[in-house]
Structure 1
Amino acid sequence: MSEYKHSYERKTMWVVLLTAVTMVVEIVFGLSTKSMALLADGIHMGSHVLAIGLSWLAYIIVRKVSKNEKFTGDSNKILSLSGYSSGLMLLIFAIVIMVEAIERLYNPVDIVYKEAIMVAIIGLVVNIASAFLLHHNHEHSDHNIRAAYLHVIADALTSVSAILGLAAAMIWDIPFIDTIAALISSFVIIKWSIGLLKDSGKVLLDIEHHHENHEPHHH
């Protein structure tokens, strides 16, 4: 277990806690202010709490497993499986947001803008803080930390689109801009989750030879 992985485990834990709190706030306000983009951001964050939580769990499992002599498998596979699972979740959540947003286009509602924007900004700040926490050395990275990092960046993007969408909708009084912002977010999420599924899937299926094995295994 390299010392990188150990620091990743600690950082991942903090990000899970930070994101979980923000997610609850965003979903509650998304519902109460009726902002689709904010709700999308909150749900999206929720998927990240699950995903980054998985990453954190994966690090703990790898640490336990690497102490266990009986385990002969490749512990990198555990990290890739975690990455794959979170990619799958992202994909599902993105599709849910799109369906919701399209329905919203047909049935517009009044949005409480100022509160929604405030909360979206808080969300963005948390995401930026998390991104700094999860920033990793590329040569020492694995699918797991990359997945967690991508989740946070994707989150920051949806926060930005929620803020811009809400601001524009408020200034010009066009509620559907909020919906468009939610749709754009979901397209971005879909694109990224598919990339993540491809990359981590390759490792799981042994399609590409492990290039991660340049450091000797420590028992």
Structure 2
Amino acid sequence: MTNFEDSAFGAGHDHIFLGAAHEDNERRTWMVIALCSAMMVAEIVGGSLFGSLALVADGLHMSTHAGAMLIAALAYTYARKHATDNRFVFGTGKLGDLAGFTSAIVLAMIALLIAYEAISRFLSPVPIHFNQAIPIAVLGLLVNLASVWLLSGNHHGHSHGHSHGHGHGHGHEDEQGHESEVHRISDRSGKFVLSVFEDGVPPVFRITPETASATLSASAVSVTTIRPDGMRQTFAFADRGGYLESKDDIPEPHAFRAIVRLPGGEHQIEFEEHEHDRDDAQASMHRDHNIRSAYIHVIADAAISVLAIIGLLLARAFGWVWMDPLAGVIGALVIANWSWGLMRDTGRILLDMNPDKRMAENVRHVIEDNGDTVLDLHVWRVGPGHMSAIVSVATGHDQRTPGFYRAALKRFKGLSHVTVEVNPTRVVA
């Protein structure tokens, strides 16, 4: 007999999976479009009045820049206005990733055009009007720097992320590169590392052997915390394959004395509360690829302007006419690299690749620690900072409904939509 129930966290079971800074990023993107459009009109009109072909050409270039920004802005606006449209089964949170993928293709085409033009100039050099070209390049750089400033208010280094660990003098990175607070313990049964691990999940204790001969059984290990007010809490452990992890979360704050019971005896360790260090650039689950694509566009344009200014100055000072096309080739390679990174990251999301394997592992552990079996599990991203999961569970506990498992999974930040299928392992008479 199979019992199936579909539900999500949150009252009303809505499917609004937009990023936390969605409206602010939308507003900033439209501001950049207004700036680029004003500069485009000024350059085209000014170039036409004063007979400057270079100024008109830069104005037309600025129009392509505004067009690229328009992709991001329209994606933000459409996603917001249709966030509650039930035709979108999992909301409109991934529309920004689609816009980012489109922008990545546009960037790749721009890189190819720049490379083609640069190679053409290597083969057939053209005279350069330095007195016009250099001021226009400087003007373009100033516009791009203003655009970067407008977009960077919520962007923080090309991504929105959210992961935290403790950055202390005794900090340590685990096998996946995630920082955690650690203490080393020498016991008669071997050497171990005790850590407070909290990268993207609620904080838990982890005990990892440091030597090949050091082995532990989860049933023979426990940690008891004693807080300044005398409150005690004992943590049991589960075997995660290569390390032991506490079954319960560690409540804040993390200032306490810990009594660690190992087969070789008891050990007392002091844990101090440290300020959390949030590194937004490292959590792909929270990245807003739409604002990232807009940011890359203006950064790429700024980089091209810088390279152009350097190439033009050297060409004018030393007669190195080849420096101008060389700067173009370098710029094309830089843009192509950024384009590939954006295309790769957004493509993975559009194909529903799991961006956080640890989230899936932790969901599995929470359910199986309760004595049940996970038959099928799918975890994927439905928007910046929002993950969805479909879980099929086999259980011998008749009283466990999908609500029981949803309550257990509420501990995970960012797990915004959960569907649970419960399969009893014995038929109820």
User: TM-score range, shorter-chain basis?
Assistant: 0.7 to 0.9
Pick closer, same or farther for the CA change 1:103–1:23 going to 2, 3 Å: farther
Pick closer, same or farther for the CA change 1:195–1:48 going to 2, 3 Å: farther
Q: What's the counterpart of residue 114 of structure 1?
A: 131
Say which is worse superposed, 99-108 or 131-140, in terms of deviation. Answer: 131-140
Q: What's the counterpart of residue 25 of structure 2?
A: 8
Q: When the two structures are superposed, what TM-score results if normalisation uses the length of structure 2? A: 0.45
Q: Does 1:178 align with 2:199?
A: no
Pick closer, same or farther for the CA change 1:206–1:48 going to 2, 3 Å: farther
Q: What's the counterpart of residue 385 of structure 2?
A: 212
Which is helix-richer, 1 or 2? 1
3-state SS in 2 of match to 1:72: coil
Contact 2:25 2:151 in 1 (8 A): yes
Contact 2:303 2:331 in 1 (8 A): yes
Pick closer, same or farther for the CA change 1:2–1:185 going to 2, 3 Å: closer
Gap regions ≥5 residues in structure 1: none
Larger RCO, structures 1/2 (Cα 8 Å, 6+ apart): 1
Say which is worse superposed, 1-10 or 174-183, in terms of deviation. Answer: 1-10
RMSD of Structure 2 on Structure 1 (CA): 2.7
Q: When the two structures are superposed, what TM-score results if normalisation uses the length of structure 1? A: 0.85
Q: Does 1:90 align with 2:107?
A: yes
In the TM superposition, residue 61 of structure 1 has moved relative to its aligned partner by: 0.6
Question: Which residue of the other structure, out of 126, 130, 147, is the alignment partner of 2:143?
Answer: 126
Question: Which residue of the other structure, out of 68, 93, 96, is the alignment partner of 2:85?
Answer: 68
Take 1:200 and 1:61, find their aligned partners in 2: how far apart are those partners? 18
Gap regions ≥5 residues in structure 2: 1-17, 162-285, 355-379, 387-413, 418-429
Aligned residues: 210
Contact 1:47 1:93 in 2 (8 A): no
Larger Rg: 2
Which is strand-richer, 1 or 2? 2
Show CA shifts across 1:86-132 (max 9, x none): 10011011111111111111111111112211111111111111111
Percent identity, please: 38
In the TM superposition, residue 54 of structure 1 has moved relative to its aligned partner by: 0.4
Take 1:21 and 1:97, find their aligned partners in 2: how far apart are those partners? 24
Contact 1:87 1:193 in 2 (8 A): yes
In the TM superposition, residue 74 of structure 1 has moved relative to its aligned partner by: 3.6
Contact 2:19 2:288 in 1 (8 A): no
3-state SS in 1 of match to 2:89: coil
Which residue type is aligned with residue 127 of structure 1? N
